[in-house]
Amino acid sequence: MVNNPAQKALWFIESHLADRLTLDDVAGVAGVSRFHLVRAFAAATGFSVMRYVRIRRLSEAARALASGAPDILSLALEADYGSHEAFTRAFRDHFGATPEAVRTRARLDQLKLQEPILMDSTMTDNLKAPRFVTGKALLVAGVGERFNCENGAGIPGLWQRFHQIVADVPARVGNVAYGVCCNGDDAGNFDYIAGVEVSDFSDLPRRFARIRIPEQSYAVFTHRDHVASIRRTVNTIWNDWLPASGLKAADAPNFERYDEKFDPLTGNGGFEIWIPVTE
């Protein structure tokens, strides 16, 4: 039996693309919480759940238009847009062409269609069992930015900025660096803070991002490979280990922990991934 939430979600979306779909519907079929599904789906596909639904529907509408579909309003309603205007705006924003232009041209070669994603084996096969710890409350300060699952490639640039300012962070504690994911929403947006532990925030200049992480139970995974392969490990944790573990993801910040063994210059040395869990 498939126990992979992202795989179940993709099957359900593709087989119900013409139906009304909500995040709750998809999470229910995937057998996990909305919070879990948003992270599992992003780790596996690089998309938020509902954005994938939207661009798949727009892609199928584009195919129908290129084949000469006469009624644009019907296509708009099938794609879950309430009006011709809303559909046209979304279509043009995504493809850079109007529905009428695609129908007139009767060709798709200039459009970037989203084909159905087929789950492949992007899981890592060497994920070691985690250790379980109760993490103390933690104050982290550094540089932060809002990301989504499609622009996460900007995170290494954020780390570069962090290394330029880390010496200026007041009240720093120790030499461990943290990459904290927090404040995630259902659309796959999240805040990422590259920072260090501090003893308090009182003297912290406003230019620094800050996050207060509460005491929490964690499953702690060791990522021994190059940092560039982190997505495979994260995918495996959310789509393989967590569903099989009997535990649930807690709605709390998760983070990477980089100690002195990690070399930020080469990306080698390994680090830990701390996932907040609950019974």
Q: Which helix (H) or strand (E) holds 180?
A: strand 172-182
Q: What is the pLDDT of residues 186-196, one digit of tens each?
A: 989 999 999 99
Look at residue 161 and tell me whether its pLDDT is greater than 50.
Answer: yes
Residue 243 has pLDDT above 80, yes or no: yes
Residue intervals in the chain for CATH 3.20.80.10: 131-278
The residue with greater pLDDT, 208 or 122, is 208
Residues in the chain: 279
How much is the average pLDDT of 239-254? 94
Q: Distance of alpha carbon 53 from its chain centroid, rounded?
A: 15
Please give the Cα distance from 271 to 256 (Å, whole number). Answer: 7
How big is the CA angle at 91 (ends 89 and 97), to the nearest 5 degrees? Answer: 100
Give span(s): CATH 1.10.10.60, the chain. 5-105
Q: Which CATH architecture has domain 131-278?
A: Alpha-Beta Barrel (3.20)
pTM score, whole prediction? 0.82
Q: Give the 3-state secondary structure percentages of the chain, helix then strand then coil, rounded to 5.
A: 40, 25, 35
pLDDT at 190: 95
Q: Tell me what pLDDT residue 221 has.
A: 97
Q: Grade residue 132 by pLDDT with cuts at 50, 70 and 90.
A: very high
Which CATH class, in words, describes the domain spanning 5-105?
A: mainly alpha
**Between 217 and 70, whose confidence is greater?**
217
Q: How many CB atoms lie within 10 A of CB 129?
A: 10
Assign 1 a pLDDT band (cuts: 50, 70, 90).
Answer: very low
pLDDT for the residue numbered 65: 93
pLDDT at 126 over 90: no
On whether the CB atoms of residues 139 and 210 are closer than 8 A, the answer is: yes
